[in-house]
Structure 1
Amino acid sequence: MSSSSSSSRHQTNRPDYDEKECLYENVLHIKFLLPGTTTGSVIGKGGERIASLQKETNTKMKMSKAGDYFPGTQERVCLVIGTISNVLSVYEFLSEKIKETFPGDVIRSRQIKLLIPNATAGVIIGKGGTTIENIKHDTTASLTITPKSDISERVMTITG
């Protein structure tokens, strides 16, 4: 009896899509980079805050381990899986936590850092940099992508 109630409890905490749906366009996998100093307030004591956030936003989230920073940074990887609107809700929360962590740092408090595959970076940059320049012009945001290296992903920083 207790195993069946445990099973139902687990199901209510899961996002309302299954793993197979992740192959469809309506479910995104987005990797945010978060400053090591911000992650504690995102995770919360005993993981309570991140569990609550997943439930509130109907997303799945995974954070890299403490001290396990993305190469060349002091930032941890936060994978968020969900629909566009749900991932945007998580983004708003993460953005607020970054602002709280860096109240005097106008630039970092207005930045979001994402990990993107090398192939995606090429599409965003475009031939001769035209696509990235158009994005910058149309949005008035600053957008930078780290140079290609031996790592399969690059950091895309959006400020604005």
Structure 2
Amino acid sequence: MESTESSYVSSPEAPRRRSSPPPKSPTSDTMEKPTYVRFLVSNAAAGSVIGKGGATITDFQSQSGARIQLSRNHEFFPGTTDRIIMVSGSINEILKAVDLVLAKLLSELYSEETDDVEPRTKLRLVVPIVLVVA
């Protein structure tokens, strides 16, 4: 079983976020706090999200403003053979990024010629136990 403290990779051209929060201002209460969403995909689906030379993930980050990171190859979520995609940013940035990722995965499914009427894939959302119990 791999460590839960997986390293994440994103494209080298990924926008860099500040390491410390911006200084407090009178209107800081109206600013959104950074949010994180993690979900699991197969290794093949992760490759599709990264794209050749990181082009797809770089494009998705530019379009959404969110940061998209993937666990390294062969670093799986414990108990699975799935890689972790972590998307961070404001709620709107995350929603846009997840929309782009899901649209890419769906387009890959439907572009493959299959005999199935409806192609199937798995995508699992990672929810901390604290939120399940609350």
Give the TM-score taking structure 1 as reference length. Answer: 0.56
Distance, in Å, in 2 between the alignment partners of 1:74 and 1:102 is: 19
Residue ranges of structure 1 left out of the alignment (5+ in a row): 1-9, 124-160
Which protein is richer in helix relative to its size?
1
Aligned partner of residue 92 in structure 2, secondary structure:
helix
Distance, in Å, in 2 between the alignment partners of 1:68 and 1:78 is: 11
Q: Which residue of 1 aligns with 2:38?
A: 31
Q: What is the aligned-residue identity percentage?
A: 26
Give me the CA root mean square deviation: 2.9
Which protein shows a greater Rg?
A: 1
Q: Is the 8 A contact 2:49 2:105 kept in 1?
A: no
Q: 1:106: Cα distance to partner?
A: 4.4
Matched, 1:55 2:55: no
Q: Is the 8 A contact 2:48 2:105 kept in 1?
A: no
Q: Which residue of 2 aligns with 1:20?
A: 21
The equivalences for 1:6-155 within 5 A come to 13-14=15-16, 19-20=20-21, 25-103=32-110, 104=116, 106=118, 108=120, 112-123=123-134
Give the TM-score taking structure 2 as reference length. Answer: 0.65
Distance, in Å, in 1 between the alignment partners of 2:120 and 2:32 is: 31
Q: 1:73: Cα distance to partner?
A: 2.2
**Equivalent pairs, count:** 109
Superposed CA offset, 1:57-108 (max 9, x none): 1111210011222122232101111111111111111212332344448484
Which protein is richer in strand relative to its size?
1
Higher RCO structure, 1 or 2 (CA under 8 Å, sep 6+):
2
Aligned partner of residue 127 in structure 2, secondary structure:
strand
